[in-house]
Amino acid sequence: MITSLVVRLLWLSDGRRIPAARWTTDNRAGCDAGGDAAAVPSRSIEVIRRRRGRPLPADDPVYGALCPDGEAFGPVAGGARRVGPLPSIAARVHEGIPLRVLRLCSVFEPASGQLVAARFDPVGGMQTHTGELTRALDGRGVRQLVVTTRPPGAPRRERFGAHSGVVRLGLPVPLFRQGYAWPAAGVLVRAVSGVDLLHAHLGEDLAVVPLALAAARWGRCPVVLTVHTSVRHTVAVTGPRSAVLKSWGGWWEQVGERRADAVIALTPRLAGLVTGAGVPAQRVHVIPSGVPDGLFDGPSAPEPLVGLPPRPRAVFLGRLHVQKGVDVLVRAVAMLPGVQLMLAGDGPERAALRRLVASLGISDRVRFLGFVPRTQVPGLLAAADVLVLPSRYEELGTAVIEGMRAGVPVVAADTGGVSATVTDGVTGLLVPPGQPAALAAALRRVLTDEGLARRLADAARRRSRDYSWEVLADRVLGVYRDVLGDVAGRRAGSLG
């Protein structure tokens, strides 16, 4: 399927790109935000308006992304769409003109008020990361179109912030999520000619890299690749699916890292592995996930844990997935009489975990909270005595950063890049992954030693200030500007 997508995109681009002599840095087609219509080569207009000879409908979401200062995902005033030249890339970089970014990710934060099927993992680090990054960059004037999957109940198109939009694709069913890739290929082909760069986010998804590379070839735009979960270096084989993912996905990840104009790794560990595999160090950047300042600085939402027995309370925040090792946590809690466990999140392992809880005889001490909206996370963590991340493999663990920011002691499995955030004995406790007894012992230490818990929480809160999205978004924007500056230099050299 992936091969057919690449072949399709490359076939679509064959003979249809703007000739190099006419594709200069000063005549790229797009929207004239200033309102003055200007003539552009007819071929440039045709690339945006047509795909395989068919005109785009008036409500096509791509138009809204290319003209975000007009009505969201609809025609500009009077029903006519202005098409004019974008300023040169060099001008955008050096004069502060807003950038236009096409963001490709297999998951994104749920729409406001949306209830997502469990198999779509509504709470997860990548969903949070892509949503918060898009929001922070939108606040800095960056125009963005997000292309992602369409979980059940989600709108196909949605305005996001002041300047951006989200297009969700695929069938709205809780199975075969990667069915989004086929319609995404068409949207990417139409949208890429009107943006400055494409930013792809790689998780456990085989389609993202080939889609991004083929679309970038079509539109002749640079690619930034963020690796959220390295299937090549981090994913552990736990069954047939993960074995296929590690084999095929690892190969595509390597191709993407080598061909991308910039690679963003969440941890220094992963950055070292990427450069060790041959990617030039100057193209690899370390920018972790973060926490929005306003989420924990304001008053917490009402505590969503009404009616529970008294403390101590352990909280897990994330996806109910084999990767997350929630079964290890359940077995550890079974060794700790009186400890209450709250599982905040949903996912494909929910039914299996319920059966495990019942078999261990601790149903009265384990509560499945389901999907907890972001606005309620501070209240949830305020009710916790310890936050636990028992993952079998993990690139970073956004929930850990949220727990640190909330001032909750953290106990985490020492896997992947978690140790880049949690320093054992200083900002939390680390245990070997997959060992319930070791996890139970660490939880017992935190829950019975108030002085230790307080020291860990205070140090973690201080450390969490390094993970503000206000800071991290500026670093991502710096990567964009470096990449576009390099592209402008290369194009100027080729034209000279």
Region 165-187: mean pLDDT is 78
- Residue 54 vs residues 1, 19, 186, 475: alpha-carbon distances, Å: 24, 21, 12, 40
Q: Amino acid letter at 146?
A: V
Region 374-380: mean pLDDT is 82
Q: What is the pLDDT of residue 356?
A: 97
Domains plus CATH for the chain?
2-10+99-290+472-495 (3.40.50.2000), 299-467 (3.40.50.2000)
Q: What is the pLDDT of residue 95?
A: 60
| pTM for this prediction | 0.75
Q: What is the pLDDT of residue 174?
A: 56
Token couple for 80? 């006519």
Of these ranges, 248-252, 276-280, 428-432, the one predicted with the greatest mean pLDDT is: 428-432
Token couple for 374? 């972001």
Of these ranges, 98-112, 125-139, 438-452, the one predicted with the greatest mean pLDDT is: 438-452
Q: What is the pLDDT of residue 474?
A: 94
Of these ranges, 145-159, 166-180, 323-337, 370-384, the one predicted with the greatest mean pLDDT is: 323-337
Task: Give me the percent of the chain exceeding a pLDDT of 70.
Answer: 69
Q: Amino acid letter at 216?
A: A
- Residue 296 vs residues 288, 299, 472: alpha-carbon distances, Å: 18, 7, 17
Of these ranges, 87-91, 386-390, 404-408, the one predicted with the greatest mean pLDDT is: 386-390
Whose tokens are 């592209």? That residue is 487
Of these ranges, 16-20, 157-161, 196-200, 316-320, the one predicted with the greatest mean pLDDT is: 196-200
Query: Would you say 418 and 441 are in contact if contact means Cβ atoms under 8 Å apart?
Result: no
State yes or no: pLDDT of 93 exceeds 60: no
Averaged confidence pLDDT in the chain:
76
Q: What is the pLDDT of residue 81?
A: 31
Q: In this predicted model, which residue has the larger pLDDT, 63 or 210?
A: 210
State yes or no: pLDDT of 165 exceeds 50: yes
Q: What is the pLDDT of residue 312?
A: 93
State yes or no: pLDDT of 201 exceeds 90: yes
Q: What is the pLDDT of residue 125?
A: 78
Tens of pLDDT, residue by residue over 8-57, are 544 444 433 323 222 233 333 333 333 322 222 233 223 333 333 343 44
Tens of pLDDT, residue by residue over 442-465, are 999 999 999 999 999 999 999 888
State yes or no: pLDDT of 79 exceeds 50: no
Tens of pLDDT, residue by residue over 280-331, are 999 999 999 888 877 777 655 555 555 665 789 999 998 898 889 999 999 9
> Both ends of the chain: CA-CA distance in Å?
42
Region 148-162: mean pLDDT is 85
Token couple for 421? 């955030």
Q: Which residues pair with 30 in a beta bridge?
A: 84
Angle (deg, nearest 10), helices 125-139 and 469-495: 70
pLDDT band at 438 (very low <50, low <70, confident <90, very high): very high
Q: In this predicted model, which residue has the larger pLDDT, 58 or 134?
A: 134
State yes or no: pLDDT of 344 exceeds 60: yes
Q: What is the pLDDT of residue 16?
A: 37
Pairing of strands 29-30, 84-85: antiparallel
Q: What is the pLDDT of residue 443?
A: 97
